[in-house]
Chains A and B, each alone.
Chain A
Amino acid sequence: MLVDPRATVADMLRARGISRRGFMKFCATTASLMALAPSMTPKVAEALQKARRTSVIWLPFQECTGCKESLTRAGGPTLENLIFDAISLDYSETLMAAAGHQAEEAMKNAIRENWGNYLLLVDGSLPVDVPEYSVIGGVSNLEMLKEVAAGAKAVVAIGTCSAFGGLPAARPNPTGARPISDVVKDKPLINVPGCPPMPIAITSVLVHYLTFGTLPELDHLNRPKSFFGQTIHDRCYRRPFYERGQFAESFDDEGAKAGWCLFKVGCKGPTTYNGCATYKWNLGASWPVESGHGCLGCSEPNFWDWQGFYNPLSTTQWGGYAQIGAAAAAGAAAGAVAALAARRKQRPVGQDVQEEGK
């Protein structure tokens, strides 16, 4: 679709058939999502109506395109992906019509024309140790990121791979995959992790930026607090079962059929900060725990490696029976030596009496 570069976000939405009522509903939902007071809804609407389409460059590195799938196939033509259309996506290899040199030229133009003002979105991790493993148009991801980030107003790491390294950084991490934050140090950076992240988390960050021109309040992992402020466990509808001590022991037992808590089959909900339990997936149809599987903790750093998906949180990473056996054998040897030494000090029976007599 050809877009008038002077069009505002509201113009875009109107052109796509979104009514005023639908637009206000979207603004109210987004304001609520961003933890703003209801009184801020008109301000969000006003800002969005006036907002010029922000230039966005989306760089794909070591990724699976799941993050883009999450946004663009969020169950149909939703407001979430329409608002995404309402930005000026000047470069995205997956979504843009241009290819090859034309695509690279489009990116260079966007950088030149919007220097200092464009948003840089990144999905996928960086192969830092071996940059040659991921190259676009002959340019390594590392070089490309440095070049494009230099002129960006802010950088948004979409998905766990770009935010924390994700699957490419899982052991043995053959490419030396690193998160974007290891390279981008001098720009505002926001992480929207998840494998994939929820579409509404991505759009809420974009809307916040379009509305206020700033990034939302972030947590210690640079995630928007409004979306990643609570754990899955905090908002899980199965939590009452946890409180009562009713747990599924396996995926096909009576507890699982009764919808009891999945803690014992490895749910990472208590340590995972994400909005799945509140917003759900596929237009609110369901989410992993509702579908009978524990949370994998995909919005947390190192989620792939830090323990098995099916190991409960109350288990540990101990060294196994061989290690314990070795410790016991060493202890027995030390004890035997100590006992032998003590026995050697024992005087023969009667000697002590004789010594006392002297």
Chain B
Amino acid sequence: MSLNEPSTAIDDEQRRRIGEAMTQADLALPQVWLHYFSITGTVDEYEIDAYLNRMIALPPTECDKLAHAVNELIDDIPPRPRAPFRDEISP
């Protein structure tokens, strides 16, 4: 983990959007970390927390694993119910 390297614009953008995706989807950190861990994530939950709070940088691979973990969890969220047309309702 690179603690002292200055973060790049890409780092910041990815971090911000991961955080935003989590907030939007109402994903809690423990849940995200567990999933991240299951896809071979190697850093601890508190480090993810620190990363999301812009306190440390993570290696690019870990950032991508985290992003992927978040996306899989978002994919798992059941879609909102849709309104049916009349002929879709069986009598």
A and B: interacting chains: no
Which of A's residues lie within 8 Å of B, judged by CB? none
Which of B's residues lie within 8 Å of A, judged by CB? none
